[in-house]
């Protein structure tokens, strides 16, 4: 199908929760090497709240599902919680119709990524989640085929963006305190973005 509804969006989040459960320790290890080691715990607390809230909340549109996830992140500590929360909130705003397609997703990714950049002050190359969000957004925006092709392109772009952070030295966030020490270490926020976007593929 070339559209997504609320059930598809719940399935997307379910795949993301499962991917995170598999990768939690690895993400924590990345944050231990470049930051303070709480990334996995921060994300786990957000996703625990998101899961519980989704069990209770009636959701008629993709945006309703994403709003629940947004709220769960906004109530989470760490730098990444509020940034992911605002990213999901913008995506939710763009997806409040019964079904959405590539155009709505691209708009939501663009608005969410712009908000993260404005709030955090990071741009591409600063070794943050922005390094995965920007190429994923560009891939969705440039997509000309159907939904499946667009999501595959976005997933590949997000993963490549996350991989690119290994070579970078951070200019934002805690990783900037350790500078060269974190060269060679992937940014955990960017890897989490890759998991989110890869999970969009059914």
Binding site for Mg ion (CB under 5 A): 31, 35-36, 38-39, 78
With respect to ligand ADP, which residue has the nearer C-beta, 64 or 187? 187
With respect to ligand ADP, which residue has the nearer C-beta, 44 or 174? 174
Taking the complex as a whole, how short is the minimal distance between the CB of residue 125 and ligand ADP, in angstroms?
12
Contact of residue 129 among Mg ion, ligand ADP, none (CB under 5-8 Å per partner type):
ligand ADP
19's tokens:
């991917």
Q: Which residue is nearest to ligand ADP (CB)?
A: 189
CA distance 128 to 93: 24
Contact of residue 163 among Mg ion, ligand ADP, none (CB under 5-8 Å per partner type):
none
Q: Where are the alpha helices (DSSP H) in the chain?
A: 6-34, 39-56, 62-74, 80-93, 102-120, 130-142, 147-164, 175-178, 188-200
Taking the complex as a whole, how short is the minimal distance between the CB of residue 13 and ligand ADP, in angstroms?
19
Q: ∠ at Cα 201 (77, 94), nearest 5°?
A: 60
Residues 6 or more apart whose Cβ sits within 8 Å of residue 18: none
**Sites of contact with ligand ADP (CB under 6 A):** 31, 35-36, 38-39, 42, 78-80, 83, 116, 120-122, 128-130, 172-174, 187-190
3 state SS of 5: coil
Taking the complex as a whole, how short is the minimal distance between the CB of residue 36 and ligand ADP, in angstroms?
5
Contact of residue 80 among Mg ion, ligand ADP, none (CB under 5-8 Å per partner type):
ligand ADP
Taking the complex as a whole, how short is the minimal distance between the CB of residue 72 and ligand ADP, in angstroms?
14
What element of type H or E holds 92? helix 80-93
CB atoms within 10 A of CB 156: 17
Contact of residue 63 among ligand ADP, Mg ion, none (CB under 5-8 Å per partner type):
none
CA distance 117 to 114: 5
């Amino acid at each position: 199908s070339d559209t997504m509804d609320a059930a598809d969006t719940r399935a997307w989040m379910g795949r993301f929760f499962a991917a995170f459960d598999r990768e939690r320790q690895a993400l924590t290890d990345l944050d231990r090497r470049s930051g303070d080691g709480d990334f996995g715990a921060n994300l786990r607390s957000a996703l625990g709240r998101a899961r519980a809230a989704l069990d209770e909340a009636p959701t008629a549109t993709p945006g309703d599902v994403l709003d629940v996830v947004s709220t769960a992140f906004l109530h989470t500590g760490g730098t990444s919680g509020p940034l992911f929360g605002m990213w999901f909130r913008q995506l939710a705003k763009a997806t409040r119709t019964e079904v959405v397609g590539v155009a709505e997703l691209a708009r939501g990714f663009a608005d969410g990524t712009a908000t993260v950049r404005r709030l955090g002050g990071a741009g591409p190359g600063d070794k943050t989640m922005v390094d995965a969000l920007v190429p994923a957004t560009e891939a969705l925006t440039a997509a000309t085929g159907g939904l499946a092709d667009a999501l595959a392109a976005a997933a590949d772009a997000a993963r490549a963006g996350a991989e690119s952070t290994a070579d970078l030295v951070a200019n934002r966030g805690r990783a900037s305190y350790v500078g060269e020490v974190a060269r060679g270490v992937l940014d955990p926020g960017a890897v989490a973005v890759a998991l989110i976007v890869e999970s969009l593929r059914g």
